[in-house]
Structure 1
């Protein structure tokens, strides 16, 4: 992998991780058309996801800090964050079960442009339905165990390239009557344990990285982090303005185009 390829893929990951258009799908498509692109397993892709998750940690540092100290405090705010922490833990269970059970199968789909294209069409449909039938109302303190388990299951399925993790999880919460900004924040926080878990599993591929490639990998990760900060801010604005339909159109167009190219 060249430095230019790593920087381009890092930028692509950062911009598409939080916008509901499937970062994994875009990475798979871009890598498909890159001559000579190679990586051990999906190590580079996971490193890019780590970069964007560090952006989440920085952007939501207050929420993350409150979550971490909530078990050691007894005030009302800490009680609410302990409840949120428990819901995030519950939601992580189905994600982990699905990810660990089907990891190898899903990784194999990254090289199947037809599957990626079809899943982009699915993502567009989910966004359209969530915008059409969303029922804003419930805030963070009204999230339920059912919400967490449904979103955790959806997040687990979003390991399929072309299914947007942020788009599908936010869509699920919107359809369950959760406020848009609350849905986005819960989606971002729920991704943290999943991505760092995937990063730990991918460390086994680190020894296969060619000499001199690690700085290239880190450069791509850094770009993903910077672009991720910008895309978080952009998506929160889109959610507030209820304009997810725009991204549905994009996913339908991209999915249709690359499906035709894959035939």
Structure 2
């Protein structure tokens, strides 16, 4: 892999991991768009280490407060918050362990990616119109948190988008836009970490080339910038620009497959 391709994929991963446009779809389609060999799932997972670093740094203070508070008083507010995040993570863990490899392989086909991109763009648009926006994730009930976790599990399919699915579900279940986004990114942290660690066994020392390392660094920098920009602009822009982009990309995926 060239340095140019590594930078390109690092930028795509960093920007799209946290935007509701599906990073896995972009990583699967990019080699076809730009006519270079598919680097495969191992490189995809390596790039996830970069975005994991980005979201950890962005929410470091939040995670530190939650863990310190939970350690002092497991039954206190921070202990409850940690419990909610664990509950939200469970569905994706179960689905990921059972189906992730087969789902990612099957859904790397451009036509299937295109279907997921377009179908879930409709879901996102509908959820925004039906949003209730009345509570925070910390005050949400166990049922709501679990359902949002189930939405995250759908992101095992390229084209769905983890943030798109979780924020849409959170809006339908009454969370405000900023709270839905924060919960989505906090939920993503253990999932991205788990996926990367789970596939670490496929990574050999020989894979740690210059382009490989550069891609990870680029994905971390772009991911950190994407989280901040998304949180600032989502309350103003809503899902509309992302819905339009997803439909366009979905149609392009069908064109690639023809």
Q: What TM-score range do you get, normalising by the shorter chain? A: over 0.9
Aligned counterpart, 1:59: 58
1:140 is aligned, of 137, 140, 153, to 137
SS in 2 for 1:111: coil
Aligned counterpart, 1:26: 26
What are structure 2's unaligned runs of at least 5 residues? none
SS in 2 for 1:20: coil
The answer on 1:73 being equivalent to 2:72 is yes
SS in 2 for 1:42: helix
SS in 2 for 1:37: coil
**RMSD across aligned positions (CA):** 1.9
Q: Which whole-Å CA distance do the structure 1 matches of 2:79 and 2:252 have between them?
A: 45
1:244 is aligned, of 239, 245, 251, to 239
So what's the TM-score if we normalise by structure 1?
0.92
Aligned counterpart, 1:15: 15
What are structure 1's unaligned runs of at least 5 residues? none
Say whether the 8 Å CA contact 1:67–1:82 is kept in structure 2.
yes
Say whether the 8 Å CA contact 1:131–1:242 is kept in structure 2.
no
CA drift at 1:42: 1.2
The answer on 1:123 being equivalent to 2:120 is yes
Say whether the 8 Å CA contact 2:70–2:82 is kept in structure 1.
no
SS in 1 for 2:19: coil
SS in 1 for 2:156: coil
CA drift at 1:34: 4.5
CA drift at 1:196: 1.1
Q: Which whole-Å CA distance do the structure 2 matches of 1:63 and 1:72 have between them?
A: 14
Alignment of structure 1 residues 1-263 onto 2, 5 Å: 1-39=1-39, 42-74=41-73, 79-207=76-204, 211=206, 213-263=208-258
CA drift at 1:213: 4.5
How many residue pairs match? The answer is 258
Q: Which whole-Å CA distance do the structure 1 matches of 2:208 and 2:3 have between them?
A: 9
Say whether the 8 Å CA contact 2:15–2:223 is kept in structure 1.
yes
CA drift at 1:104: 2.2
SS in 2 for 1:137: coil
CA drift at 1:11: 0.4
Q: Which whole-Å CA distance do the structure 2 matches of 1:212 and 1:61 have between them?
A: 29
Q: Which whole-Å CA distance do the structure 2 matches of 1:242 and 1:175 have between them?
A: 18
**Over residues 170-193 of structure 1, what are the superposed CA-to-partner deviations in whole Å (9 max), with x where a residue is unaligned?**
010001111111111111011111
So what's the TM-score if we normalise by structure 2?
0.93
CA drift at 1:257: 2.3
Say whether the 8 Å CA contact 1:98–1:156 is kept in structure 2.
yes
CA drift at 1:110: 4.7
